[in-house]
Amino acid sequence: MKRLSIVLLCAALAGCTMPRGAALQSEIMSSSGTETRDFAHYRIDRATLSRLAGWPEAKHAQTENLWLQGGRGGAGQLLAAGDSVSIAVWENGENKLLTTDAAPSVELHKTRVGANGTVFVPYIGEVPVAGLSPQRARARIEERLTPLIPAAQVQLEAEPGRANSVDLIGGVAHPGNYPMQDRSLTALGLVSLGGGPRAELRNPQIRLLRGSQVFDTSLAALLDAPQTDVGLRGGDKLIVREDPRYFLALGASGKEELIPFTKDRVTALEAVTMAGGISDTRANPRGLLILREYPASAVRADGAGGPTHERVIFSIDLTSSDGLFSAQNFDIAPRDLVLATESGATSLRTMLGLIGASVGVSNAVSN
């Protein structure tokens, strides 16, 4: 009776699919050898990495807004429309036009540089100053006054207006509008003025809005390459935000969830670590799969310089030295699916466990 029960149980189990938490590699790759497959498969090794170096970006790679090229701004301030200007005139000699012997200088009312780039000075009218340094603007006004007041000397002080200020929008301790005292203010300098990025931001990203143009980079990239810390211009808007990129971890790994990028570059081996590693009892270390989509423009029918299909599966063998080294040099793209496939031995262990449990129950009934 006991043997009959075991035979019947085995027959029943043979017709059933054992419960699993992840797919087998063979199930995912079942159609990889057919002519009608809708994906391409590439095994990640030393040779494949060399081929991938020339491929276009993945579908969800965020490289449409590259960081701008150019050096830092020059030193000193240039006057612009909206700047406030204070002018004082000193007179020497006997014939005075604006002052007296008791008060050898006169301070004119503070004025703003007009939309046409000029300031009004009594007796000489509109004086173009936009685009000039305060020193050159002072010299120009003094030159215009000389025919009227031969011994006149002019003092000029300027305060930046909206056209000579930048906006720091969010992601820092002190966001707001910051006047540019000179043209040497850079992206990192503005972030520093704002108190630095908020501590809770993962891999802070820098977005610069200049007119209708958008430029993106990361704070880490600016710190690693100081020559890319470009100078700002009046009217620029700088945003500090969290890195929006993520990848998905599924299967026989420690985590099954969306995992955000914590740095600019995340490799396949690092992604496995970030996902909590692969399960010692369930995972197939020879079957780590990376599922990725490419834009239609990246597809190459001959496979030269791009994938043969929009959907691509990369497989990695974590039991070989070449596989481990290659995984450390294979970059994860945004929205990649990192799938730790399940070992076929898991189903066998489950079946044997069920048989063992049934035998135990049968023995208990017999006794």
User: Which are the contacts of 348, defined by CB distance < 8 A and separation ≥ 6?
Assistant: none
Task: State yes or no: pLDDT of 247 exceeds 60.
Answer: yes
CATH number at residue 56: 3.10.560.10
Only one residue has tokens 């031995």, namely: 345
What was the pLDDT predicted at 140? 96
What was the pLDDT predicted at 46? 95
**Domain edge (last residue) among 141, 159, 177:** 159
**Domain edge (last residue) among 108, 128, 159:** 159
Residues 253 and 172 in one domain: no
Report which of 149, 133, 160, 135 is spatially closest to residue 89, judged by C-alpha positions.
149
**Domain edge (last residue) among 209, 241, 273:** 241
Amino acid symbol at 10: C
Examine residue 359 and state whether it is found in any structural domain, yes or no: no
Whole-number Å distance between alpha carbons of 221 and 309: 32
Q: Among 23-32, 109-118, 226-235, 281-290, which stretch is predicted with the lowest mean pLDDT?
A: 23-32
H or E segment at 153? strand 153-159
Task: State yes or no: pLDDT of 199 exceeds 90.
Answer: yes
Examine residue 14 and state whether it is found in any structural domain, yes or no: no
Task: State yes or no: pLDDT of 224 exceeds 70.
Answer: yes
Examine residue 273 and state whether it is found in any structural domain, yes or no: yes
Bridge-based pairing state of the strands 40-43 and 105-107? unpaired
73-90 pLDDT tens trace: 777 889 999 999 999 888
Q: Among 65-79, 117-131, 290-304, which stretch is predicted with the lowest mean pLDDT?
A: 65-79
What is the separation of C-alpha 196 from the centre of its chain, rounded to a whole number of angstroms? Answer: 17
Examine residue 364 and state whether it is found in any structural domain, yes or no: no
CATH number at residue 94: 3.30.1950.10
What number is the average pLDDT over the span 95-107?
Answer: 67
Examine residue 72 and state whether it is found in any structural domain, yes or no: no
What was the pLDDT predicted at 352? 46
Task: State yes or no: pLDDT of 56 exceeds 60.
Answer: yes
Structural domain span for residue 88 = 84-159
Report which of 140, 137, 109 is spatially closest to residue 122, judged by C-alpha positions.
109
What was the pLDDT predicted at 38? 87
Count structural domains, the chain: 3
Residues 261 and 323 in one domain: yes
Residues 257 and 208 in one domain: no
Report which of 167, 189, 178 is spatially closest to residue 73, judged by C-alpha positions.
189
